[in-house]
Amino acid sequence: MQKTFTGRHMTAILVGFFGIVIAVNFSVAGIALHSFSGVVVENSYVASQDFNGWLKDAKAEQNLGWSATARRDAAGRLVVETTGMPASAKLTALLRRPLGTPEDRTEVLSRIAPNRWVSKELDAGRWIVRIEADADGQHWASEVPIG
């Protein structure tokens, strides 16, 4: 005996399908709301007034010819390798989590070779690293993700 497909079967399928879609959407929206505060700058008008200054600073930093790359080594430390920086450079790493519970920290990097710097051990996971270098009255900064 073959069972017939009725309107009740179709209704159950549609209600089940859309119920799952709606549940997933609400779950993802809830996760998004709790993991990102939405604040990029505290006052966008004030930030817009500083924009031309930021462009000028970025051009000056670019003209220095300094560069840096960052990675995590096997021991879990942040390793920064630099190019073109003077021997008197002092490096600082500002670390922040891109997702989840906000976590910010600052590390003064220790030089272990002429162009290599390390931090203390980092917690596992993704980080956005802002590397700042100061030498001979000049300032340079760059941001790189690691993880």
pLDDT digits (tens, 9 = 90+) for 56-80: 988 988 888 899 999 998 888 999 9
Number of domains in the chain: 2
* Percent of the chain predicted with pLDDT > 70: 99
**Which residues make beta-bridge pairs with 110?**
118
Q: What per-residue confidence (pLDDT) applies to 37?
A: 67
Range of the domain at 95: 53-146
Length of the chain (residues): 147
Same domain, 65 and 95: yes
Q: Which amino acid makes up residue 13?
A: I
User: Do residues 103 and 139 touch, judged by C-beta distance below 8 A?
Assistant: no
Predicted confidence band at 29 (pLDDT cuts at 50, 70, 90)?
A: very high
Indicate whether 133 pLDDT > 70: yes
Q: What is the DSSP string of 21-79?
A: HHHHHHHHHHHHHHH----S-S-HHHHHHHHHHHHHHHHHHHHHT-EEEEEE-TTSEEE
pLDDT > 90: what percent of the chain? 41
Q: Are residues 102 and 133 in the same domain?
A: yes
25 and 69 share a domain?
no
Which residues have C-beta within 8 Å of that of residue 130, sequence separation ≥ 6?
Answer: 93, 94, 95, 96, 141, 142, 143
- On whether residue 48 sits in a domain, the answer given is no
CB-based contact 97:103 (threshold 8 Å)? yes
**pTM, rounded to two decimals:** 0.64
With CA atoms as reference, report the closest residue to 107 among 72, 137, 139: 72
Q: What is the pLDDT of residue 102?
A: 79
CA Rg value for the chain = 25
Residue 19: is its pLDDT beyond 90? yes
Q: Looking at residue 57, what is its pLDDT?
A: 86
Residues 136 and 91 placed together within one structural domain of the fold: yes
